[in-house]
Every structure is written in C-alpha cells, then in structure tokens.
A and B are shown apart, each in its own frame.
Chain A
Amino acid sequence: MRITCPICGARDRREFTVKGAALALERPARDAGDVAWDDYLHNRDNPAGRSAELWYHETGCAAWIVVVRDTVTHEVFETRLADGDTEAGS
C-alpha cells in the first residue's frame, strides 16, 4: 500500500503509523459533557467503504495526514495535512 504524503509525495505504507479515525481532530471543549467526550474517545463507526483516517509520516516528515480511503477496495481518494477543522469521513 502506498500513501501520498502532501509534503513528501507517494511513499510506502511502512513509513507511516495509523492512529485511527480522523474524528480525533474534533476535540470537544473541556466542559462539553460526557456524551460528547464518549463519542470523541470511544465511539467509532466501522464503515465498509469510505473512511477518513489519521496517519503519521513517522519515518518521513513527521506530518499528520488525513487519508480518505475505502476500507474495502483500499483506494485512496484523498490525502491532506491534518489540521484542526477537518470534516471527518467526508
């Protein structure tokens, strides 16, 4: 599998570490309440299809990257640098 790092270009999957759903970018406010924090910390969809994930280019430029890909076909639709205001699972 190959992932295109927005900074470095297409690289082998071995250079990256996956963190999980890109939902991790949408950190609730400190006082957002248990439900919001539960959703953020623990509740995850398990889509067979399009999903947005966070990958870390660990042995490359150390950037965090949102990888939008299909969990069934493994097609990568889009990669972009992760930032605070990403819509997950676009």
Chain B
Amino acid sequence: MRIGGEGLIDRGARLDFTFDGHGYQGVKGDTLASALLANGIRLMGRSFKYHRPRGPLTADSAEPNALVTLGRGPGQDPNARATTVELHDGLEARSQNRWPGLDFDLLSVNDALAPFLGAGFYYKTFMWPRAFWEKVYEPAIRRAAGLGAISRVHDPDRYEKAFAHCDLLVIGAGPAGLMAALTAARAGAEVILADEDTHPGGRLNAETLEVDGRPGRDWAAAVAAELSEMDNVRLMTRTAVVGAYDQGTFGALERLAPDIAARRGAPRECFWRIAARRAVLAAGALERPVAFQNNDRPGVMLAGAVRAYVNRWRVAPGRNVAVFGNNDGAHRTAADLMAAGVHVSALIDSRPGATTDLDLPFFPGATVTDAHGRKGLEAISVATTSGIDKLQAECLAVSGGWNPAVHLTCHMNGRPAWREDIAAFVPRDGAVPGLRAAGACAGTFSTRACLEDGIAAAREALEEMGRTAPGTSAPRAEDGAYAITPLWTVPGKARAWLDFQNDVTVKDVKQAARENFRSVEHMKRYTTQGMATDQGKNSNTGALAVLADATGRAIPETGTTTFRPPYNPVAIGALGAGAQGMGFAPRRLTTSHAASVDRGAEMLEVGLWYRPSHFPARGETHWRQSTDREVTMVREAVGIADVSTLGKIDVQGPDAARFLDFVYANTFSTLKVGRVRYGIMLREDGHVMDDGTTARLGETHFLTTTTTAAAGEVMRHFEFVHQCLCPDWDVRFISVTEQWAQFAVAGPKSRDLLDDLLDTPLDDAAWPFMACGPVGLGGVQARLFRISFSGEHAYELAVPARYGDSLFRELARRAEALGGGPYGMEALNVLRIEKGFITHAEIHGRTTAFDIGMDRMVSRKKDCIGQAAAERPGLREDGREQLVGLKPVGAVKMLTAGAHLFNETDPADRDHDQGYITSTGFSPTFGHFLALGFLKNGRARHGEVVRMVDHLRGVTAYCEVQDPVVFDPKGDRVRD
C-alpha cells in the first residue's frame, strides 16, 4: 500500500492499468511491480517448474519472479520484468505460466510432486521408449514448464539500431558513474553515460543517504542536469549496456519511454553499438538472498528492494515487515521502514555479536528458518538460541550481502577474483582492455568511496588518452564500513531456493555434487541453475557456495561459470532491427526496373539485384508460355534484355594488358583495340573463378565484364592481385557497373533495329562479330559491343545510367514493332543452354577449365593466377566429370537441375554416381527439355544413354549425352 512522504513519483499523475484483466491505478514514476504492490498485489507469477506462487524479489532488472506478458496480439511481449516495466496509462499486463489462473493453477500439482522432480529428473525418467521423447515427453514437458509465450505471428513493433562513438563510456549512473562522467566531461572528453534506469542516481534513488548535504537523489539529479547541459556528453537513460566486445565495442539496449514509444511509427527499443576508447564500468552490485525453507514465498524480498519500494516509490510491501540479514544493510532497511511509518516486526541478524539502537524486536545470532503462507507471506519461523519463534510478517526483507556486478568484465573470457573480506567476486584488472571497474561493481561499497572511485577511474582513463583531468574532489557522503559474515543457507528439511526462476534448490545442488557433477559448469547444466532469463544474477554465488561446501572446497577453488552477453535479455527484434522483410538485404535495381514492372514483369532476386523473370503478354497465364514466346522471339526477330547487372570493371594504365594476362587464364595483350574477347579467370587453386568478355577500348584501356554473381569477388580479387602480387605494375581499375546501363539487342533483326536507332547506321565491315566501339545515339555517346549470349546476331548497347530507363523503353518499343520485345531471365537461360554457354551453375567452384572444355584457353606461355595448380594431373585427367549436354529420350521428358546421372542399369546410389545436372530448361526451338551437366569422362560419351534420378523430387528420366552446344554449333548466326 502507498505511504506518505516524498519519493520519485508524481502522485498527481494517476495512471490506469490492468493486470490479469482487473483494473488498477498507479502513479507516474511507478514500475508495474511498485504499482501492484501499492495495490496490495504480491502474487505476480508462477515459477517455471513447480508453478509456485511468486512475487517480486527485487526492484530492478535482476528480477527472477515477477515476469509478465505485456500487451496482446501480435505485438505481445512475454517475460517482461514487472520491476522494470514503466507504468503508463492503459498498460495491459498478464501473468504467465499458469492455468486456468494465477490464483488457482492446476499445474501447481507439480509442487506436490517435487520429491520426484529434482535435478536430473528428466534425464533419468523419460528415457524409454526412445521414440517417445520427441513425440510425447518433450511436448508435454514444454507445455507444463516455461514462461511467457510469443504470439507466433509477425511482430508489428518497430525496433531501431544505432551507432555511437565516444572517448569514455560510463556504464551505470550511480555515485561512481556520475562522478566518472562528470570528471571526464569537465576535461573535455566525449562522454556517453548510460544507465538502464529511468532516472540517473543508481542506489541513491532507493536510499535515504545524503550526498553533499542534500538527499542523494537530489544530488544525482543535479549532476545529471549539469551533464545533460554539456555538448560533449550524451546521457542515455533507459539504456542497459548488455555486452562488452573487442576493441572497445559495447552493445546497449535502449528502451524508449512509453509516451515516445506510443507515437506513430516510433520504435519500442533501439540497439546501440557503441565504440569507446575507454570505458568505466560502474554497474553497482546485486544483492543476494539467503536460502532457507520456502524462501520463495511472495513477500520475501531483498532488503535493498524493500528500501527502494519504500524510499523511491513510497510503497509499503506489507503491513508488518521483518528484516533478516548478515550485514549492516539489514539495519538500514529496518531504520528506513520505521522512518516511513511501516511496522517492523523483527530485525534478525545472523551475526551473534550484532547490536542495534533501533527500538524494535532484535534477534542477534538468529536465523529465519521457514516462511509460511501459501500465496503470500503470513509468518516466519526464527531460530534463536532459545528455540523456534513464529513471528507474523507480510514481508520479509532479506540481505545475504552484495555481489559486485562483474558480468561485463567477464564477457571477454575474464574470470573474477574472490575477495574474502566482502565474501564476493570482484573484477580483475584488464579483464576487458580499456575498461576499469569503479564503485560497488569493484567491491567498493561506501557512498563516499564510490564517488572517489569514479573520479579516480575517469582520471586514469583520461591520462591514457592524453588528457589532463581537472582537480575534482568527491562530495561529502556516508563512508561506513561494509561488515558481513557470510551466510548462504539455513538448514532445514524442506526446499530452500537458490535459483528462483529455474526452481533450483539447495537440495538440487547437493544432489548434483553427490552424483559427481562437481565442476561448477556441470552442476549448472545438470540443475539448470543460472540458465534462466535472469542468468542467475541473484543465485550464482549462493549456488557456488553450496557446491563448494558439498564438495569440501573453498569458493575460489570451485570457480565460477562464464558470464556471457547479454547482461539483460534482448529481443531478437532489437538485435535484428531494420533487417525484417525488405530490410534484410540492400536492393539493387536496374535502370529498367520501373519499365519492367510497368510491363507486368515478375522480378527475381539475383544476389542483391532484381531482374525480370519474364514479361507476360496478353492471355499468357503461365511463365512457360511467356518464356517460350520470348525465346522464339529472339531466335526469329529481336529481343531486348537488361544485362547491366553484370560486373563492369574499367581497367586502365600502361600495364593494363599485362595485368589482365595475369588475372585471366587466356591472353588479352594480343587483343586489338576495338575488339572483344571472352576470357576465363582461375582461382589460384586451379578452379574456374569467373568468366566474361573484355573489350579493348584503347591501347591502355580495357573494359572487363564479370558475371552478376561474382562481380564483388572479382573486384576484390583484382585489388588483391594488384596490391599484393604486382604492386609495381602501372594499372588502375574501378567498378563502373552502376555507371553504365547495358542492354542486349539480340536476334536476326537486331541490326535493323540499331540501324534505325543509332545516329549512323552500322557498317558491316566495321562491326564484325566481337567488335566494339563508340556509337552516337541521339547525341549521347554510347558504347556498342557485338557480342552474343544467345547465339544470335546480337549487340550489347551501353549508355550512361541516367539514360537507361528511356533507352530500355525505346528499345522495347522498337523491338515490338519488329515482332520482338523484351525478354527475361528465363528466356535468357534457355537461349544460353541451347548454346551450351556456362554460368555459375556450371563454374560452381569445383570445376576446372579442363572440366568445362576450355583447357586450351589456359595459356602456357605466361604465368597467370591458377596456372601452376591447373597443371596438376588430378585437375585435368579423363576420369573427371566433364561438361556435357543432355536431352530426354525416354517416356519422362522432364529434366531437373540437381539430379544425378547413372549408367542405365546401375542402381541409383552414391557408389554408382556418374555425374549431375547443373542447368535445365525447356527449349521451344527443339521442342523438348535440354540440360547441361557434368558426367564422368563425358566428352567421350556423346550418344550414350544415361539415367537421370532426382531423389529429391522423385523424377527418373533417360537421357542422351550430347555436345553442350546444340543450337547452331558452327556459330554461323552470330557472324551472319
């Protein structure tokens, strides 16, 4: 219930929200957890395995219990921690992992079965019959256990990603972080200060401590205000730094404030990648519970969380509160509660010599042994020297001490060190290069020492960066010693919880040790301790202490498990922000894209490019109809295709020819100016890398084309060869793929079309097959290449890209007037299969020049990339699979790419494999399917019948091996 006094809430701003369908009211500044507690609701969830009733344990992001689902429908967000959910008007939250309701949950029967459900239960029980695991046991277990559910439909919420750079990243805006940021900012450094909370201040917001003579939260607000006024500071609240990565890179998740996230089109969250020259980790410490019987009852909370609910949110977590601890923090909790007017029924301090000035029932040297009340704490049992007392309490504030938040220092494989005096792990220096821990996360617990530590860490970082830090002194603050006597567990017969979220008890860890899972990593996996969404923030050290005790070792000997990113759960939607749908990859569109779409073309993805598959004509209902028509059109009239996606590399310089001779297997230095030559390029290991034509535009000027798929790879290769293997050669190259729009004009009427279009008609003698040169086109200087990928008399016409759209429309119109038109990738593919031209379906990385029948193109007169390896006997011997053409000769007429080839009577298995099919298409020219493929010793087997078996699609066909070139084998048409 809400109590009086000042906190970080605005009592005037009332907010309506619902939990499990019931309406409640909270105020601005509340979290969902504080608002529910203010409404007297302690029961917020059910546990993972035993379906135990649970309430919040913490008031921060470490929360293991109070997990809820926010919203409804496609955008519902499961497993939100009620302790960090900012309350806003209209918030809709539901509890999880219960049926039919939170109050009455049928699967709480699991709790009664607990004796059978301990560690390793699943491993031992569901072993037989084996087939049952996948079909019966696992689905049933998954239904019974678990947390929130995703909606299983597309998430409509928007996420963003962003990048930031700074000199100093300060992680956490508590006393240490604020002072570190202030020190660095005053020295002029670019500073990012990130904190997961809505308000900077860290623990100061939850305590009554004073800094510089005023309430700590006021001091924090003043420092934050000063920082946010400075141009060199970016103050990021609601931003959890979740991972530390190489070279000062950090990942951070920013939640947008609910009012901003609610705006139309606004993202919910933004994932930041921050590159920092130095970093200060001021992440604070996480309080740990003590394990005693039934310590998971709703109402049992960490003492620091109770102080936060009382001081920050002005919420009493119960009408009467008992406090139990092994350190002075418990006393502070009792004092704060009393000051706020909350009845404290007892202060139980496990340290025998403890004393107090507080006027309350005090039990030094005592422990809490049990908690009572099924759906909410009603009473506790306290063991004193005189026996067991049962005391009434609706809330028990527990403190087992504090664990420095070392997590980020372990993300790069660092291991923390054990400090006996504070009974906790602290970071090792240098665990993350450039990062220093300061304040509570470094094991420094007094406010004053944290402030000083923050200054010192910033000064060291500044000095390393060559900056002088101005003299900053720490303000006055509490400087008490941290006195703790470790207490991990209180003995008892019933279950005592370590890991609340995964329902791991002291008994489970002891059982793991008994069954010889003595390594902490084995114990973790056997019991699942620390493997829930909270990553064991509250339970790792406690579990380790129990394991150490059970195995007779000290804690540092026992070790720790590995902390990995992210520190807090991060939605995949945030990590992948912007990459949904069309954002998955960049889209490259040709200049003819709009015109093609206008014509109803279906677009295919080709790498990042979009190319037309076919251009449906009136009445065509199937792509094959369009494709057959387009192929025939090219063979009989003229077709237009956009070929701009092929890589174009402009190569210039006195050594340009020499360079091309080196990167290509064949020779280009002998090519005449104004001529084009086909070339193949090998990888250094002797396999074919790419192919394409190269035009010699001038004595020292070449234009080389690559396949669409390998354009980037070839450019990378060119750069490598030049920079690393022949840096002295005077040659330069640049990609001009996007600067030129290039169109194939192919077919017997292509010359007619161009004669009419170009400024001067083509002179046959000057434009033989494989000629190239400049042409005028309506005053635009264009390039014309008489090359053919269709086997027809054909040209490729290139213009600067800005003319691409109008040229394509003009070419298509003129082609149509001649009985032709545009053609797409499908027709282009059929045309080239009829001619036996290869693509990357054939030069797929495992084929050699020998395999594709181009061994003679590999010049032996010069060195070239891949030449030495290509000479090796294994790469050019007759047993290899060689390129062949295939046509169906049996009853089944369809050939499929990917199918394998077998001798006619051999079984169709791997041992009898003779080869495979790489490309197929229906040839309207021949009236049947054609295929290209590789067949063992294939060149010597033309005329032979082989069996094609496509195991995947279930197709078997008999086909005849033939030459890959079936259309116009002599090449008369291209020269005509």
Residue B674, interface by CB 8 Å: no
Return the chain A residue nearest B248 by Cβ: A2
- What B residues does A63 contact at CB under 8 A? 719, 723
Question: In whole angstroms, how far apart are the Cα atoms of A66 and B522 in the complex?
Answer: 41
* Chain B: minimal CB distance from A42 (Å): 8
Partner of A74, one of B163, B412, B712: B412
Partner of B724, one of A1, A25, A62, A73: A25
Determine whether the beta carbon of B246 is less than 8 Å from that of A17.
no
Determine whether the beta carbon of B684 is less than 8 Å from that of A41.
yes
Residue B725, interface by CB 8 Å: yes
Question: In whole angstroms, how far apart are the Cα atoms of A14 and B88 in the complex?
Answer: 38
* Chain A: minimal CB distance from B682 (Å): 12
Residue B275, interface by CB 8 Å: yes
Partner of B727, one of A27, A31, A76, A83: A83
Determine whether the beta carbon of B716 is less than 8 Å from that of A56.
yes
Residue A47, interface by CB 8 Å: no
Determine whether the beta carbon of A37 is less than 8 Å from that of B868.
yes
Question: In whole angstroms, how far apart are the Cα atoms of A41 and B867 in the complex?
Answer: 13
Question: In whole angstroms, how far apart are the Cα atoms of A40 and B720 in the complex?
Answer: 16
Question: In whole angstroms, how far apart are the Cα atoms of A60 and B726 in the complex?
Answer: 22
Partner of B868, one of A10, A28, A64: A28
Residue B678, interface by CB 8 Å: no
- What B residues does A30 contact at CB under 8 A? 863, 867-868
Question: In whole angstroms, how far apart are the Cα atoms of A10 and B719 in the complex?
Answer: 21
Residue A34, interface by CB 8 Å: yes
Which positions 39-56 of chain A face chain B at CB distance < 8 Å?
Answer: 40-42, 54, 56
Question: In whole angstroms, how far apart are the Cα atoms of A84 and B720 in the complex?
Answer: 10
Chain B 711-735 per-residue mask, 1 if CB under 8 angstroms from chain A, else 0: 0100110011001111100000000
Determine whether the beta carbon of A1 is less than 8 Å from that of B725.
no
Partner of A81, one of B716, B723, B869: B723
Which positions 17-41 of chain A face chain B at CB distance < 8 Å?
Answer: 17, 19, 24-25, 27-28, 30-32, 34, 37, 40-41
* Chain A: minimal CB distance from B564 (Å): 15
Question: In whole angstroms, how far apart are the Cα atoms of A55 and B712 in the complex?
Answer: 15
Residue A78, interface by CB 8 Å: no
Residue B837, interface by CB 8 Å: no
Residue B433, interface by CB 8 Å: yes
Contacts A17-B716, A74-B412, A76-B247 given: A83-B724 contact, CB under 8 Å?
A: yes
Determine whether the beta carbon of B719 is less than 8 Å from that of A62.
yes
- What B residues does A2 contact at CB under 8 A? 246-249, 275
Question: In whole angstroms, how far apart are the Cα atoms of A35 and B412 in the complex?
Answer: 39
Question: In whole angstroms, how far apart are the Cα atoms of A32 and B684 in the complex?
Answer: 14
Determine whether the beta carbon of B720 is less than 8 Å from that of A19.
yes
Determine whether the beta carbon of B720 is less than 8 Å from that of A56.
yes
Question: In whole angstroms, how far apart are the Cα atoms of A12 and B163 in the complex?
Answer: 10
Determine whether the beta carbon of A64 is less than 8 Å from that of B248.
no
Determine whether the beta carbon of B246 is less than 8 Å from that of A74.
yes
Determine whether the beta carbon of A58 is less than 8 Å from that of B716.
yes
Chain B 869-882 per-residue mask, 1 if CB under 8 angstroms from chain A, else 0: 10010000000000
- What A residues does B869 contact at CB under 8 A? 37, 41
Chain A 73-90 per-residue mask, 1 if CB under 8 angstroms from chain B, else 0: 111100001111000000
- What B residues does A12 contact at CB under 8 A? 163, 249, 273, 275
Residue B245, interface by CB 8 Å: yes
Question: In whole angstroms, how far apart are the Cα atoms of A82 and B725 in the complex?
Answer: 10
Residue B460, interface by CB 8 Å: no
Residue B685, interface by CB 8 Å: yes
- What A residues does B724 contact at CB under 8 A? 24-25, 54, 64, 82-84
Contacts A1-B245, A37-B869 given: A75-B727 contact, CB under 8 Å?
A: no
* Chain A: minimal CB distance from B732 (Å): 12
Interface size class of B (residues with CB under 8 A): 20 to 34
Partner of B249, one of A1, A19, A41: A1
Determine whether the beta carbon of A82 is less than 8 Å from that of B723.
yes
Which positions 429-457 of chain B face chain A at CB distance < 8 Å?
Answer: 433
* Chain A: minimal CB distance from B730 (Å): 15
Question: In whole angstroms, how far apart are the Cα atoms of A37 and B871 in the complex?
Answer: 11
- What B residues does A27 contact at CB under 8 A? 684, 725
Question: In whole angstroms, how far apart are the Cα atoms of A25 and B585 in the complex?
Answer: 32
* Chain A: minimal CB distance from B163 (Å): 8
Determine whether the beta carbon of B723 is less than 8 Å from that of A83.
yes
- What A residues does B247 contact at CB under 8 A? 1-3, 10, 74, 76
* Chain A: minimal CB distance from B684 (Å): 6
Question: In whole angstroms, how far apart are the Cα atoms of A89 and B863 in the complex?
Answer: 27
- What B residues does A25 contact at CB under 8 A? 724-725
Contacts A1-B247, A12-B275, A74-B412 given: A84-B719 contact, CB under 8 Å?
A: no
Question: In whole angstroms, how far apart are the Cα atoms of A25 and B413 in the complex?
Answer: 32
Determine whether the beta carbon of A56 is less than 8 Å from that of B719.
yes
Return the chain B residue nearest A66 by Cβ: B724
- What B residues does A24 contact at CB under 8 A? 720, 724
- What B residues does A83 contact at CB under 8 A? 723-724, 727
Question: In whole angstroms, how far apart are the Cα atoms of A23 and B195 in the complex?
Answer: 45
Question: In whole angstroms, how far apart are the Cα atoms of A75 and B273 in the complex?
Answer: 19
Return the chain A residue nearest B683 by Cβ: A41
Return the chain A residue nearest B864 by Cβ: A30
* Chain A: minimal CB distance from B30 (Å): 39
Question: In whole angstroms, how far apart are the Cα atoms of A58 and B715 in the complex?
Answer: 10
Question: In whole angstroms, how far apart are the Cα atoms of A83 and B863 in the complex?
Answer: 19
- What A residues does B867 contact at CB under 8 A? 30
Question: In whole angstroms, how far apart are the Cα atoms of A1 and B249 in the complex?
Answer: 6
Chain A CB within 10 Å, residue with most, of B245, B246, B685, B863: B246
Return the chain A residue nearest B723 by Cβ: A64
Determine whether the beta carbon of B723 is less than 8 Å from that of A34.
no
Question: In whole angstroms, how far apart are the Cα atoms of A82 and B868 in the complex?
Answer: 23
- What A residues does B725 contact at CB under 8 A? 25, 27, 84
Question: In whole angstroms, how far apart are the Cα atoms of A8 and B725 in the complex?
Answer: 22
Question: In whole angstroms, how far apart are the Cα atoms of A10 and B712 in the complex?
Answer: 23
- What B residues does A31 contact at CB under 8 A? 868
* Chain A: minimal CB distance from B251 (Å): 12
Question: In whole angstroms, how far apart are the Cα atoms of A76 and B412 in the complex?
Answer: 14
Return the chain A residue nearest B720 by Cβ: A64
The 7 closest A-B pairs by CB, nearest first: A2-B247, A1-B246, A74-B246, A30-B863, A82-B724, A64-B723, A25-B724
* 18 sampled A-B residue pairs with Cβ under 8 A: A2-B246, A12-B275, A13-B246, A17-B716, A27-B725, A30-B868, A40-B684, A41-B684, A41-B869, A42-B685, A56-B719, A62-B715, A62-B719, A64-B719, A64-B720, A73-B412, A73-B413, A76-B247
Residues of B within 8 A of A (CB): 163, 245-249, 273, 275, 412-413, 433, 684-685, 712, 715-716, 719-720, 723-727, 863, 867-869, 872
Please name 18 further chain A to chain B contacts, defined as beta carbons within 8 Å, in addition to the given A1-B246, A56-B716, sorted by A numbering.
A1-B245, A2-B246, A2-B247, A10-B275, A17-B716, A24-B724, A27-B684, A28-B868, A31-B868, A41-B869, A54-B724, A56-B720, A58-B716, A62-B715, A73-B413, A75-B433, A83-B723, A84-B724
